[in-house]
Chain A
């Protein structure tokens, strides 16, 4: 499957099979941090960043694991290494770029063990992407996540002003909204089948 183009991998991860709305990865932050557009945007940036870091580390680990033929330790290694890599980067960021740290910092520990992050690592392994494809894939996944999160936050900000029945307040309404958004994203399916 090395023939897939980088653009296509990116588009596929970002909109066709959007991580949040089609694959249900990273639902917790999607429901939790999507109340305000500002926060959602920063959260999204942090996720893109962490996804890139973890995708690179996962690629390296997988190469090592295959080298030594111990793939059954994959899950444990992924989790441990991704968590520590993110923490290392966080410390480095604190030291060298406090401004960036202030913008993204509080989200970093929160998303380290988020299923979207591990999902990127696992999917790129299953699909046997090479290094550049991994980068395109994780970038696409991150952008897709940010897109879903900011769209949702925009909708929810409007919803604050709407008068909804008492029973539907809170998570129930958010889920219904997410369903509609997901329905809209289904329209992107087939983008890949059209070319060639």
Chain B
């Protein structure tokens, strides 16, 4: 995507890339474990997304700041220590904010540390780019990740519990589709979203082809 060692200028694309074109969940399939595990309700999904975004932002800014200081041989070790630090901070932060939330997310807060997306950003982007670009890109990726989690969490909560963010949406006689908030539901809903995106992408490509075909004919 980026040529190595080339510092890019900050554009809207730096941010937007994370939302759609390189969406960490739907396109790159990175960091799947928390995506599936904690999205049984919208509020958990949101909290997890924000926590991950925070870790991503802080760790990639720090990596970007230190990028000239870090020798190649120990770079992964350095990144991991930096990431683990911020994850520990988030872990204690969430405990301080709400124990219920902490219990709902369980070990997955600490498992942010092995989220491939974060290490991937540090290695592929932050270690080569200036602070500004890193922050913007990291923010984009984080927001993209959060939106993806919300997409999953929202759908699963609506189908599986008949509510959204804890507010009931349906009348009393709504029979929740319980399997959606159980583990298999995670796989099904994510698979469903991917199907939707595949379908959309293929349709767009087909249209593009038709347009090109038409213009060739017209000329």
Contacts and interface: CB of A to CB of B under 8 A. Distances in A.
> Does A associate with B in a complex?
yes
Interface of A: 21-28, 31, 72-73, 75-76, 79-80, 83, 113-115, 117-119, 122-123, 126, 166-176, 178-180, 182-183, 186
B88 A72 contact: yes
Contacts of A166: 202
Interface stretch (B111-119, B128-136, B139-147, B159-167): B111-119
B194 A75 contact: no
A79 B113 contact: yes
B33 A27 contact: yes
Interface string B186-215: 111011101100110010000000000000
Contact of B188 (A113, A114, A118, A179): A179
Contacts of B85: 76
Interface in B101-115: 107, 110-111, 113-115
Of A31, A167, A183, the most chain B CB neighbours within 10 A belong to: A167
A113 B80 contact: yes
A173 B195 CA distance: 8
Interface stretch (B2-10, B16-24, B63-71, B177-185): B177-185
A73 B92 CA distance: 12
Contacts of A119: 107, 111
Given A76-B85, A80-B81, A178 B187 contact: yes
Interface string B58-97: 0000000000000000000100110011011001100000
Interface in B13-42: 29-30, 32-34, 36-37
Given A80-B81, A83-B80, A179-B191, A27 B184 contact: no
Contacts of A25: 33, 37, 111
The majority secondary structure among interface residues of chain B is helix
Contacts of B77: 80, 83
Interface residues of B, number: 40
Given A115-B111, A172-B191, A179-B185, 12 more contacts: A25-B33, A27-B33, A28-B33, A31-B29, A75-B88, A76-B84, A170-B198, A172-B195, A175-B191, A176-B188, A183-B179, A186-B183
9 closest cross-chain pairs (CB), A and B: A179-B187, A175-B191, A172-B194, A24-B37, A27-B32, A182-B184, A176-B191, A183-B184, A24-B36
Nearest to A32: B29
Contacts of B34: 24
24 contacts: A21-B183, A22-B183, A24-B32, A25-B33, A25-B111, A27-B32, A31-B29, A75-B87, A75-B91, A75-B110, A79-B113, A83-B77, A115-B114, A117-B114, A118-B114, A122-B111, A167-B195, A167-B198, A172-B198, A175-B188, A179-B184, A179-B188, A182-B183, A182-B187
